[in-house]
Every structure is written in structure tokens, then in C-alpha cells.
Amino acid sequence: MLAPLHKRLLNDYQQDFPLSPTPYRDIAEQLGVSEDEVLNAFHALSELQMISRIGPVIAPNHIGTSALVAMAVPETDLARVAELVSAHPEVNHNYERENRFNLWFVAIADSEAHLNTVIADIETQTGYPAMLLPMLADYFINLGFELNLHD
């Protein structure tokens, strides 16, 4: 069971995270709790693997460069490879797909050279080639969703 504070953090701050020098204090004031309670709750949610990161979602290629990347990884090696991919701070998420190319991820870097270095490192570490997929059209998908946790 999630505590009421956890539910509020998960639902209310997916898109409206305060943009200030003291965002956690701002959240605490809005919710009537201490900043330490907010930080501890986010830490607990991370430990429960309910959140993986707190940070902005920046439109592709507006700051630096990004790429959608696909890899064909044997099912028996998928967990190891996914862990190696996720260890790169330039990778903001990865996911499995039911396809020959079964591991997909988005990588973001400050330059094309840096992005290529990250992808080359991933290929070297995993032993599998990566296929970079260029963005042909930009589509906005709202990643926020109601978790219906206020019950």
C-alpha cells in the first residue's frame, strides 16, 4: 500500500514539478509536509522502482541531440544488456518489444559526437550492434497519466 504522500507525489508532480531553486521545499509547502518527508518519499518510490528518475522531458533535438535506438538481443541475455544500457546517464529509458529488435531506448547527448561515443560504448559493452533510427517527424505524446490513487 502506498502512503497518501506517495500517491500525491506520483499523481500531482508528473508534469507540474516546480521549476525553482528549491523544488522539494516548494512541494512540501504545497502539500503541508516537510522537505525531508518529500525527499524520503521520493527515495522510497525509487527504491520500490515506481519512479526511475526525476527530470525534464525535453523535445527531441532542441537541446543537444537524441536518437531512438533498437537492438536485437537474445532473450537469455536481455536483462544483462538492458542493465548495461540503463547504466548510461544519457539513456533516459529502455523497454522490451516483441520483435527481432527487442530492446529499444532513447539516448540524449550534448552533441552528435558524444551520442555516437555513447552508442559505440554500449555496443562494445554488450557485444551487440545498435541501430540508430533518425526522427523523420516530431510527434508530441503526453506522458502524464492519472494513476487513480486518490482512493
Which residues lie closer than 8 Å to 33 by C-beta, 6 or more apart? Answer: 5
Helix spans in the chain (H): 4-12, 23-31, 35-47, 78-86, 112-126
Can you read off the three cell numbers belonging to residue 124?
562494445
> CA 101, CA 95: separation in Å to the nearest integer?
11
Q: Would the pLDDT of 31 be above 70?
A: yes
Please write the tens of the pLDDT for every residue from 44-74. Answer: 999 998 888 887 766 666 678 888 999 999 9
Beta carbons of 105 and 123 less than 8 angstroms apart: no
Give tens-digit pLDDT for 75-116: 999 999 999 999 999 997 889 999 999 999 999 899 999 999
Query: If you search the block for the grid coordinates 555496443, which residue do you land on?
Result: 123
Residue 27 has pLDDT above 80, yes or no: yes
User: What pTM did the predictor assign?
Assistant: 0.63
DSSP 21: S
